[in-house]
């Protein structure tokens, strides 16, 4: 193809990644070519620059630069994943049917590859999650590398589109559990600070909170909203929090809690590491018994099943390091409501 062309995304293709859509349209192109063309701004969606991983919607127009006419060289045969990794990711399955797989993602395992994320990630381990299907399941949303908990994968493109649409329209209720420094006052409320990327990519990415009144005047800032509730407290030293992101911005929960002055324990990027809480800080009355790993866990997810229309209510057990902290403080999941925000929905 020697000329620039534009193509419109069809109704059946909305909600999928740009790179996957392009490969279906032009089987001869490679992932490397797509990513390079996106970086150079040669591939655009509705006139704007995009990433290879960007989601496209029905009706959008994609600008496509000249492409090679010859098919791409056959891919190098994959070595597969190790038996240990296959067993690990299969043990992480919380629930599955013919349409959806739900994982309890381990802390420390990235959802996808990328800058600073390494080669081992959930997306690369889906080969072990086919369970008789020809195609691998695809991620519907993501969790930060060090955040554990409920993560959904779709087993067909149609289900992936429907779930992605449900997340975009905020039709899912996600509740996270976190251990934070100090005890927020008031004990329940909503954080409405916007978020602005301050630089870095992948593991180096960091967000800055912007006052709600300044979001519209701040270039690049996006509105963000988080509901929070204190479930238990350790005197004034630490609190067990329920956090529900109404929007889904990068590092939203971590940045919002830090802005409140109560960073999530183990979050070195946003001020919650043990090293930054010495002396009279939160850790002074606890000692070294609490793990320095991030104490943030996607505890539950409620969403309508896109095929059966039944309510899907998923709950993920705490990771080992958070379970140890909960035992240390004498906290038990049976003593708190599964959804402290239920009276507001």
Give the burial class of 284: count Cβ atoms within 10 A of its Cβ; 0-12 exposed, 13-18 middle, 19 or more buried.
exposed
How many degrees, rounded to 5, is the angle at CA 180 between CA 176 and CA 186? 90
- Residue 25's contacts (CB-CB under 8 Å, 6 or more residues apart) are 7, 64
State the virtual CA torsion across 314, 319, 324, 327 in degrees, nearest 10.
0
Q: Which residue in 106, 99, 29 sits closest to 68, CA to CA?
A: 29
For residues 189 and 166, give the distance between their C-alpha atoms in angstroms, rounded to a whole number: 25
Active site annotation includes 85: no
Q: Among the options 19, 144, 146, 267, which is catalytic?
A: 144
State the virtual CA torsion across 318, 291, 200, 85 in degrees, nearest 10.
-50
For residues 156 and 138, give the distance between their C-alpha atoms in angstroms, rounded to a whole number: 8
- Which tokens is 279 given? 């002396």
Strand-pair partners of 4: none
* Three-state secondary structure readout of 231-289: EEEECCCEEEEEEEECCCCCCHHHHHHHHCCCCECCCCCCCCCHHHCCCCCHHHHCCCC
For residues 36 and 269, give the distance between their C-alpha atoms in angstroms, rounded to a whole number: 30
For residues 288 and 265, give the distance between their C-alpha atoms in angstroms, rounded to a whole number: 12
DSSP β-ladder status, 188-191 and 238-245? unpaired
Percent composition of the chain: helix, strand, coil (DSSP 3-state, to 5):
25, 25, 50
> How would DSSP label each residue in 129-174?
G-TT-SSPPEESS---TT-EEEEEEESSHHHHHHHHHHHHTT--EE
- Which residues are part of the catalytic machinery? 144
């Amino acid at each position: 193809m020697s000329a620039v062309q534009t193509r419109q995304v069809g109704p059946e293709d909305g909600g999928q990644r740009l790179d996957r859509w392009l490969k279906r349209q032009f089987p001869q192109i490679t992932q490397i070519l797509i990513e390079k063309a996106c970086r150079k701004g040669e591939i655009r969606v509705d006139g704007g620059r995009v990433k290879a991983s960007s989601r496209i919607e029905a009706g959008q127009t994609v600008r496509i630069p000249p492409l090679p006419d010859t098919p791409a060289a056959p891919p190098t045969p994959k070595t597969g994943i190790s038996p240990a990794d296959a067993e690990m990711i299969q043990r992480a399955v919380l629930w599955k049917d013919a349409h959806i797989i739900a994982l309890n993602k381990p802390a420390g395992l990235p959802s996808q590859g990328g800058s600073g994320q390494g080669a081992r990630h959930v997306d690369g381990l889906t080969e072990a999650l086919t369970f008789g299907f020809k195609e691998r399941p695809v991620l519907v949303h993501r969790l930060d590398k060090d955040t554990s908990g409920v993560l959904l994968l779709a087993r067909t493109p149609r289900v992936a589109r429907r779930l992605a649409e449900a997340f975009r329209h905020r039709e899912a209720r996600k509740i996270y559990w976190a251990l934070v420094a100090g005890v927020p006052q008031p004990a329940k409320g909503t954080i409405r600070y916007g978020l602005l990327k301050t630089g870095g990519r992948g593991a180096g990415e960091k967000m800055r909170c912007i006052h709600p009144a300044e979001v519209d005047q701040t270039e690049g800032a996006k509105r963000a909203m988080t509901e929070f509730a204190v479930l238990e407290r350790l005197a004034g030293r630490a609190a067990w929090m329920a956090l529900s992101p109404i929007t889904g911005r990068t590092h939203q929960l971590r940045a919002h809690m830090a802005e409140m002055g109560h960073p999530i324990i183990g979050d070195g990027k946003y001020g919650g590491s043990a090293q930054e809480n010495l002396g009279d800080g939160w850790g002074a009355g606890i000692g070294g018994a609490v793990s320095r790993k991030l104490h943030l866990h996607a505890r539950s997810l409620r969403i309508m099943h896109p095929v059966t229309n039944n309510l899907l209510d998923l709950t993920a057990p705490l990771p080992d390091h958070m379970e140890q902290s909960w035992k240390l403080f004498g906290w038990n999941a049976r003593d708190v409501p599964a959804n402290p925000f239920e009276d507001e929905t």
